[in-house]
């Protein structure tokens, strides 16, 4: 098993069954894990912000920073390895916030809404989602079978 680390505002794809794509430190950011069980191709995106209109230049340099630019690149990178849209299984985790956050850091919520809107518009179903809450998460995607695991800080590991 080889751990391939996906950083903040980063994405990785693979078709090697021995690989595990992992991203640590998901606070308000969101990890989107996609997997094609037939081609055995998978990808993991860790985006930071909902909308690239904030800084189009940054989005051009690093599309993985934003939901609206990162998600299309994630899918296209998987297609390049033989994946097909109709077979892709989508899972997502993250989008946490701090306590009593009523008026400012709702960035986690905005990240969740942006992702749902993009998938809904493109007729893609989100198979499972572990979002919100007040804790950080680590996400792993095993390329051998597409299983996706979430570990919460101080908590246990669960499959989503």
Partner 1 sequence: MIEKILNSIKAIPAFPETVQRLMILLNREDYSVQELATVVKYDQAVTANVLRIANSAYFGLREKVKSVEQALSLLGRKNLIRTIQTAGVSKIFRAVPARGYVTTGSELWQHSVAVALMSQILSRRIRGEEDDVLYTAALLHDVGKMIMGEYVEEAMTAIMDKVTQQGYSFLEAEEEVFGINHAELGGKIAEKWKYPEEIRDAIRYHHRPDLLSEDRPVPWFVHLSDQFASLMGVDGGIDGLACRALEQTIPMFQLRHKDLETCFILLHQDMDRAKDVMNLV
Which residues belong to the active site? 29
Q: Is 131 in the site for partner 1 (CB under 8 A)?
A: no
In the complex, what is the shortest distance from the CB of residue 24 to partner 1, in angstroms, rounded to a whole number? 7
Exactly one of 2, 5, 98, 157 binds partner 1 (CB under 8 A); which one? 98
How far is 79 from 48, CA to CA, in rounded Å? 23
Q: Which is nearer to partner 1, 36 or 52 (CB)?
A: 52
Residue among 48, 99, 87 nearest 69 (CA): 48
- Is 106 exposed, middle or buried, given 0-12, 13-18 or 19+ CB atoms closer than 10 A? middle
Is 5 a binding residue for partner 1 by CB under 8 A? The answer is: no
Residue 60, CB-side half-sphere exposure with 13 Å CA sphere: 3
Site for partner 1 in 66-95 (CB under 8 A): none
| Contact with partner 1 (CB under 8 A) among 100, 121, 123, 125 | 100
The residue from 3, 103, 121, 123 that contacts partner 1 (CB under 8 A) is: 103
Binding residue for partner 1 (CB under 8 A) from 14, 77, 97, 131?
97
Kindly tell me which residue out of 102, 121, 123, 125 binds partner 1, with binding defined by CB under 8 A. 102
> In the block, which residue shows the tokens 């189009």?
56
Place of tokens 């595990």: 20
Say whether residue 107 binds partner 1 (CB under 8 A): yes
Query: Which token pair is 30?
Result: 């969101």
- CB proximity list for 85: less than 8 A, separation 6 or greater: 75, 79, 124
Residues that bind partner 1 (CB under 8 A): 8-9, 24-29, 48-49, 54-55, 58, 65, 96-108, 134-136, 153-154
């Amino acid at each position: 098993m080889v751990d391939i680390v996906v950083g903040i505002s980063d994405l990785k794809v693979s078709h090697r069954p021995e690989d595990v794509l992992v991203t640590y430190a998901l606070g308000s950011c969101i990890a989107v894990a996609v997997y094609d069980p037939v081609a055995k191709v998978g990808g993991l995106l860790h985006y930071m912000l909902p909308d690239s209109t904030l800084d189009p230049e940054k989005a051009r340099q690093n599309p993985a920073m934003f939901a609206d630019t990162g998600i299309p690149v994630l899918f296209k990178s998987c297609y390049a390895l033989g994946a097909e849209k109709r077979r892709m299984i989508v899972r997502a985790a993250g989008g946490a916030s701090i306590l009593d956050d009523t008026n400012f850091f709702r960035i986690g919520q905005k990240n969740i809404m942006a992702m749902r809107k993009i998938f809904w518009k493109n007729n893609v179903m989100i198979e499972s989602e572990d979002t919100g809450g007040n804790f950080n998460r680590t996400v792993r995607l095993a390329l051998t079978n597409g299983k996706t695991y979430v570990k919460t800080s101080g908590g246990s590991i669960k499959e989503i």
